[in-house]
Amino acid sequence: MFSQTIALFRYQLLGIINGRIIILLLMICSVAFLASQFVAQLAIINSENIALATMADFLRYSLVLLLIISLSYQISQDYELSQFERLLAMPLSRLQYVLAQFLVLVVLAFVLSMPLFLLIMLLSNTSVAMYWALATFMELMLVGQFTLLAIISLEKLPLAVIFSIALYLLAKSVSLIDLILSRSAPFYDEEGSFQLIQFLFSGIHYVLPDSSYFALNNVFFEPVNYVDLLSTQFISVMVYSIFIQSVILIDFYRKEFN
């Protein structure tokens, strides 16, 4: 079973890691570096930290986008070219397919995080670079699993990309939605519809990642305990990954392929 999964993983990996993605990655890194140097020219004080934080955030969001598009494209091709029908005709379980895709995600997230580590290490120090690369790796793993869920459920590339980005932004906007609800409460507290929205959102809160699941950009401005931050993020991402993987498996096992 294990060798079959590895064989499937290698086959899938060849389709996703190619020259095009490496060139794109190099271009993103160059743009991020240039944009950060431009910001550094504008800042009068603290320019090094501002430039570094700008570059780190620019790279984080670009890599998330790149990961979502690459993964969605890869699996949407499996649907379009009827690969699933062929794969499932072989002695392969659906669990093996999901596992192979998870391994592809691990390698892709690692490949995307590497230039991030090197670039930040060149411009700053190893500990900050190590923190940011590991934290971004975990963030990419989280978003990658949203994407796996989206593309396996929705099957179409545009739908999966929009859904993944929407989910990512919703998770990032938790504090903004909280603020809107708390500011609106004095005006609409009596209204049933408002209470329903509050109830729904507090429910959604439980199944959405919060800020502890993502890389924290403030590390570029203040001394922090990297081990504490990384261990908290690791545990949160681990627990959430198990939950998401179970949803993916249930959804995938319910699918009918003719």
Partner 1 sequence: MAASQRKISQIPAFLLAAFLLFFATQLYFHHAHNKLSNYIYRSLKTPLDAQFYRAVSFGSEQLLSYLLLIRVQLHDNQKGQHVSYSHLDYETLSNWLMTLYNMNPASDYPAFLASRVYSNVQDEKKIRKMVNLIEALFNKNPQQHWRRMTEACLLLKHQLHDLPAALKIAEQIANLPATIKMPFWARDMRLILLDELNRLESAQILISSMLQSGEIKDNDELRFLRDRLLKIQQNLSKNKQN
- Chain positions 16 to 45 lying near partner 1, rule: CB under 8 A, are 39, 42-45
- Binding segment (CB under 8 A) for partner 1, from list 27-35, 80-88, 145-153, 174-182: 174-182
Closest CA to 97 of 1, 231, 186, 178: 1
Is the Cβ–Cβ distance between 143 and 160 less than 8 Å? Answer: no
Please, which residue, 61 or 257, has the CB nearer to partner 1?
Answer: 61
175 binds partner 1 (CB under 8 A): yes
- Binding segment (CB under 8 A) for partner 1, from list 13-21, 53-61, 62-70, 158-166: 53-61
Distances (CA, A) of 134 to 114, 139, 161, 239, 249: 9, 9, 24, 17, 27
| CA distance linking residue 104 with residue 96, whole number of Å | 12
Please, which residue, 1 or 43, has the CB nearer to partner 1?
Answer: 43
Task: Report the nearest approach of partner 1 to the CB of residue 172 (Å).
Answer: 4
* End-to-end Cα separation, the chain, in angstroms: 24
Give the burial string for 186-219 (b: 16+ CB within 10 Å, else e). eeeeeeeeeeebbeeeeeeeeebbeeebbbbeeb
| CA distance linking residue 153 with residue 149, whole number of Å | 6
173 binds partner 1 (CB under 8 A): yes
Per-residue contact flags (x/-) with partner 1 for residues 219 to 248, judged by CB under 8 A: -xxx--------------------------
202 binds partner 1 (CB under 8 A): no
Please, which residue, 93 or 212, has the CB nearer to partner 1?
Answer: 212
What is the separation of C-alpha 34 from the centre of its chain, rounded to a whole number of angstroms? 24
Task: Report the nearest approach of partner 1 to the CB of residue 23 (Å).
Answer: 25
Binding partner 1 (rule: CB under 8 A), the pick from 6, 15, 21, 57 is 57
In the complex, which residues of this chain contact partner 1 (CB under 8 A)? Answer: 39, 42-48, 50, 53-54, 57, 172-173, 175-176, 178-179, 211, 214, 216-218, 220-222
